[in-house]
Amino acid sequence: MIARLICLKPTWGRVAALLLLSLGLALPAAAQKRLVRVTGSVSERQTRKPVPGATIINLSTRRGVVADEQGDFDIRVNSTDTLEFRAVGFQAYRMPMGNTGLSQLIVQVKLERASVQLTGVTIREGRPDDQTISRALRNVRRQAPPPNAVKRAPRPQPLFPVDSTAPKVPVATLQNPISLLYDQFSREGAQRRKLEEIQEEKRIEAEIARRRAYNRYFRINKGYEVKQDSTRRPVTAPWQLPSSQPSVPVQPVQPPAGALAPKP
């Protein structure tokens, strides 16, 4: 039996039919992938207040946007995608596009509050015993360092002992005229003298308070009164020699309790 191959010659009618068939199949596919712009706002169902920071996620692409302070949002998705609206403290809400033929949708999404149930909490009075605390600390698992962890090098030690004390400022005397002039006419010298005066006043106040506290234990304090000049220490000027410093007056010491007071 001889098989014959019959080749049909294409005609214009058949070509037109094939083109129409291909277009008919392509149009629904194009309609399914149509891009839709979805805008609107997210609010609370009970109070109708906007929900700022709500997230709108496209479940097909796992991408989304965040609502602004007024709860408004703007997102572009395909007509076959599904949007999910989420917010902290609210129940999630899903909205499928449903293969809509529109190019833009304006929606008003209202979320409901989510009720959170906490487990029971037992409050005990007092502090747990040391044995319970030790057992809990032993059960804590410490994280092991990774195998590729780099150990820190120890801090370098100085080869020689280091003296961190600052050198003392040379005393301004006649033997050092440069330091004397600088201390006399510079701002640092004036500040140093002012500081010495303040320290001297504080020392005098502390000495007066100490002597008065000591004298209050005696009924007769005649001849032992605390005077302001008796506790003042003369401040040596920079240009004065150490030998020219006057001696500090000594306040008489109060006799012990029970002794006779000195005669005036």
Instruction: List the pLDDT tens digit at each of the 264 positions of the chain.
Output: 333 433 444 466 665 666 666 655 555 554 456 889 999 999 999 899 999 999 999 998 888 999 999 999 999 999 889 999 999 889 999 999 888 888 888 999 999 988 767 677 777 777 778 888 888 888 887 777 777 777 778 888 888 877 777 666 666 666 666 777 777 788 888 888 899 999 999 999 998 888 888 888 777 767 666 665 555 555 444 444 444 444 444 455 555 544 444 444
Q: What pLDDT does residue 226 have? A: 63
Q: What pLDDT does residue 258 have? A: 46
Tokens of 181: 């002039």
Cβ atoms 76, 36 nearer than 8 A: yes
Amino acid identity at 147: P
Burial class (CB in 10 A: 0-12, 13-18, 19+), 151: exposed
- The alpha helices in the chain, defined as continuous H runs, are 12-32, 130-139, 177-185, 187-215
- Angle of CA points 100, 101, 106, to nearest 5°: 65
